[in-house]
């Protein structure tokens, strides 16, 4: 496929001179560092944080590359996936001119971030069973359609999107195609990272916020061609990932077996919760889930949502979202949390 990333890029970003520090020029670990106006005496905390962190997170990317089967140069790390979403708009979408294609119902930040960046949104709804409408997507696109976001497994519907539809769009959509795999660890679907070398217009997002249990650290990953990763690195804030986050994840990543165990526990709880919800006579529908949550249809979902809050059980009300009428999105919790939800549901729904 012929694909010219530079022709999609905003011209001023193509010309941009990025911020550089003395440590881009001197990468040695030993030395007298009087270049960055840091405090030479240490920190007020027990652990020292007085030195700026590695702006390109090289050690961490080496380890991530090994577990994800990509090259370190194909990885961008952001302050959550949300940072990568914002940077993509800023790199490729001229405000007031270019547009993005979104496929509702889907993750809300694609739309919010487009609005922050004054980027036109073109929406092509998913089908009632939350699959893509590839021909309508292509019909909605024009030369200014710079990005298409596909979320799989999708939030809030929890299903995986048909692989052949994504491949068809990778072959036919002229802009960048982002596959957001925030929930991929809970699915039997292989990641699209295996397709990176075939499709220069593909960017795959994943996150440490879900299966890895590190939402508070804010670490999102984007995988793409080296050329595209270079662009994101050029425009990101220089020290976007804290040293604490880099060091903590670097240590944690060695224990991938623990993550795999947690994923198995969550999947087992998902089955338990689904089975128990199915027994409740008022539950109308539980959508098939490839994620760590269930989309559940219940009569009077708005009222049930409010009543659950009274019981101090907080779920996500999706009742007003397209194709999700009367639906609540329920995160899979621990056994105790799931039982608390089930008890509260049985109490508030008469």
Site size toward ligand PMP (CB under 6 A) is 12
Which distant-in-sequence residues (6+ apart) come within 8 Å of 243 by Cβ? Answer: 49, 51, 52, 53, 54
Residues 124, 220, 266, 305: which binds ligand PMP (CB under 6 A)?
A: 220
Q: Which stretch binds ligand PMP (CB under 6 A): 59-67, 158-166, 207-215, 273-281?
A: 207-215
Comparing every residue's Cβ against ligand PMP, the nearest one is: 80
Site string for ligand PMP, 77-96 (x = CB under 6 A): ---xxx--------------
Handedness of CA 269, 270, 275, 280 (dihedral sign): positive
Contact call for residue 98 and ligand PMP (CB under 6 A): no
Characterise 294 by phi-psi region: left (phi > 0), alpha (psi -120 to 50), beta (else): beta
Residue 81's nearest CA partner among 244, 204, 258 is 204
Site residues for ligand PMP, 258-297, by CB under 6 A, read none
Shortest Cβ 80–ligand PMP spacing (Å): 3
Query: Whose Cβ is closer to ligand PMP: residue 162's or residue 316's?
Result: 316
Site residues for ligand PMP, 128-167, by CB under 6 A, read 151, 155
Contact call for residue 215 and ligand PMP (CB under 6 A): yes
- DSSP character for 48? -
Q: Which stretch binds ligand PMP (CB under 6 A): 74-82, 89-97, 196-204, 251-259?
A: 74-82
Site residues for ligand PMP, 170-189, by CB under 6 A, read 180, 182
Query: Whose Cβ is closer to ligand PMP: residue 107's or residue 305's?
Result: 107
Residue 258's nearest CA partner among 216, 220, 291, 211 is 211
Shortest Cβ 241–ligand PMP spacing (Å): 12
Query: Whose Cβ is closer to ligand PMP: residue 178's or residue 319's?
Result: 178
Q: Which stretch binds ligand PMP (CB under 6 A): 30-38, 59-67, 75-83, 274-282?
A: 75-83
Whether 290 contacts 155, CB under 8 Å: no
Query: Whose Cβ is closer to ligand PMP: residue 80's or residue 105's?
Result: 80
Query: Whose Cβ is closer to ligand PMP: residue 155's or residue 246's?
Result: 155
Whether 282 contacts 304, CB under 8 Å: no
DSSP calls for 222-266: EE--HHHHHHHHHHS-TT-S-HHHHHHHHHHGGGHHHHHHHHHHH
Gap between the Cα atoms of 11 and 34, Å rounded: 36
Helical residues (DSSP H) of the chain, grouped into ranges: 5-8, 11-15, 22-25, 58-68, 81-92, 109-116, 134-140, 163-172, 226-235, 243-252, 256-279, 301-310, 335-348
Interface positions with ligand PMP (CB under 6 A): 80-82, 107, 151, 155, 180, 182, 207, 209, 215, 220
């Amino acid at each position: 496929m012929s694909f010219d990333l530079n022709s999609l890029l905003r011209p001023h970003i193509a010309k941009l001179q990025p911020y550089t520090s003395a440590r881009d020029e001197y990468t040695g670990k030993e030395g007298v560092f009087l270049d960055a106006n840091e405090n030479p005496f240490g920190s007020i905390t027990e652990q020292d944080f007085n030195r700026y962190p590695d702006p390109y997170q090289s050690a961490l990317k080496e380890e991530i590359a090994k577990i994800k089967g990509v090259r370190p140069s194909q990885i961008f790390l952001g302050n959550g996936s949300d940072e990568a979403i914002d940077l993509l708009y800023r790199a490729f979408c001229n405000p007031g001119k270019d547009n993005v294609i979104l496929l509702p119902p889907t993750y809300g930040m694609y739309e919010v971030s487009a609005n922050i960046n004054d980027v036109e949104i073109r929406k092509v709804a998913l089908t009632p069973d939350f699959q893509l409408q590839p021909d309508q997507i292509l019909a909605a696109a024009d030369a200014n359609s710079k990005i298409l976001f596909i979320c799989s497994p999708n939030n809030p519907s929890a299903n995986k999107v048909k692989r052949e539809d994504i491949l068809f769009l990778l072959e036919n959509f002229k802009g960048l195609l982002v596959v957001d795999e925030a929930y991929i660890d809970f699915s039997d679907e292989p990641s699209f990272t295996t397709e990176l070398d075939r499709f220069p217009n593909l960017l795959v997002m994943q996150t440490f916020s879900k299966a890895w249990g590190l939402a508070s650290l804010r670490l999102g990953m984007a995988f793409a061609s080296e050329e595209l990763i270079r662009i994101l690195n050029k425009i990101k804030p220089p020290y976007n990932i804290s040293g604490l986050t880099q060091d903590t994840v670097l240590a944690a990543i060695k224990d991938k077996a623990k993550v795999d165990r947690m994923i198995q526990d969550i999947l087992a709880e998902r089955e338990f919760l689904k089975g128990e919800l199915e027994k409740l006579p008022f539950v109308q529908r539980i959508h098939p889930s490839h994620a760590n949550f269930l989309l559940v249809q219940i009569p009077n979902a708005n009222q049930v949502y409010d009543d659950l809050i009274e019981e101090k059980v907080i779920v996500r009300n999706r009742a007003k979202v397209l194709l999700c009428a009367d639906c609540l999105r329920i995160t899979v919790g621990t056994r105790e949390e799931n039982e608390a939800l089930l008890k509260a549901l049985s109490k508030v729904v008469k």
